[in-house]
């Protein structure tokens, strides 16, 4: 494992094909300061380049996944500075990652913490996870996708309620409303995320990237455009060696050997 100032990175799984990023600023409940987000971006760059990595797991600590943007760092900033400097625009690095990312969330996922979890492709939650957008209590609003992604994940009424009241949602509620795909005992959240990541990394990396791109298009396009986009990507899989290998292996009753081509 490599330990940065705020983030630990490692490779996990039997085949070392899972990129692992752990937010490690425990004293501040993983408040997402500039330095921390820079380290996360750098880790994503490295894992995206790494040909062996087929899936990434992002996690925090047992008490906090992340308690939001760093309030103390933001406190004295002024409009002109945040506007001209595109304050926190580097956060979308996570949403732009081509490889699948699983968030393993134990404890608080508040404000920016909830928002970065929602930038991931799958969210697994520990039984103690709490999701919320408490920005209104600070006189600001969610600024890294909370008003948009939460709405799409759990619908308008529940999203409005969380954002307007600053109330938190439990892991169980989050699963029921579709924000989270599974809930685990706290000490198993990360391992279960790694197991799922290993499974994903066992498939062709080019195919998983295409799956991700097509699913994400569902958030941007009309049904007709989305279906058209999906069909084009489906057709494109016929240009890959892995599509041929997958179907040939099925016909020959053997396991496929994918080469990511």
Catalytic residues: 69, 112, 115, 135
Q: Which is nearer to ligand CO8, 54 or 68 (CB)?
A: 68
CB of 133 to ligand CO8, least distance (A): 8
CB nearer ligand CO8, residue 153 or residue 217: 153
Q: Minimum distance from CB of 70 to ligand CO8 (Å)?
A: 4
CA distance 162 to 17: 37
What does the alpha-carbon distance between residue 86 and residue 114 come to, in Å, rounded to a whole number? 21
The candidate with the shortest Cα–Cα distance to 196, out of 94, 104, 93, is: 104
Nearest-approach distance from CB 144 to ligand CO8, in angstroms: 4
Q: For residues 28 and 46, which CB has a smaller minimum distance to ligand CO8 in the complex?
A: 28
What is the per-residue burial (b if ≥16 Cβ within 10 Å, else e) of 127-142? ebbbbbbbbeeeeeeb
Task: Between 54 and 111, name the residue whose CB sits nearer to ligand CO8.
Answer: 111
DSSP type of residue 222: -
3-state secondary structure of 69: strand
* C-alpha to C-alpha distance for 33 and 79, rounded to whole angstroms: 18
d(CA 86, CA 97): 20
- Contact residues toward ligand CO8 (CB under 6 A) are 28-29, 31, 67-72, 88, 91, 108, 110-112, 134-135, 138, 142-144
CB of 87 vs ligand CO8, minimal distance in Å: 6
């Amino acid at each position: 494992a490599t330990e940065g100032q705020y983030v630990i990175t490692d490779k996990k799984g039997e085949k070392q094909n899972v990129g692992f990023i752990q937010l490690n600023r425990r004293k501040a409940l993983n408040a997402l300061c500039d330095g921390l987000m820079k380290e996360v971006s750098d880790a994503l760059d490295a894992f995206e380049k790494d040909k062996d990595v087929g899936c990434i797991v992002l996690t925090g600590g047992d008490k906090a996944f992340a308690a939001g943007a760093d309030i103390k760092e933001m406190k004295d900033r002024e409009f002109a500075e945040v506007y001209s400097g595109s304050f926190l625009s580097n956060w979308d690095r996570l949403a732009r990652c081509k490889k699948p990312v699983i968030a393993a969330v134990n404890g608080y996922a508040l404000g920016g913490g909830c928002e970065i979890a929602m930038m991931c492709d799958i969210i697994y939650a520990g039984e103690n996870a709490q999701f919320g957008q408490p920005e209104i209590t600070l006189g600001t609003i969610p600024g890294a996708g909370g008003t948009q992604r939460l709405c799409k994940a759990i619908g308008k009424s529940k999203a409005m309620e969380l954002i307007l009241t600053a109330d938190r949602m439990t892991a169980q509620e989050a699963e029921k409303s579709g924000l989270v795909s599974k809930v685990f005992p706290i000490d198993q959240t990360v391992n279960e995320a790694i197991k799922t990541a290993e499974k994903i990394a066992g498939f062709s990396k080019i195919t998983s990237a295409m799956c991700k791109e097509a699913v994400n298009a569902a958030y941007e396009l009309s049904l007709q455009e989305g279906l058209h986009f999906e069909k084009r990507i489906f057709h494109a899989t016929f240009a890959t060696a892995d599509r041929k290998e997958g179907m040939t292996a099925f016909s020959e009753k053997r396991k496929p050997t994918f080469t990511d081509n």
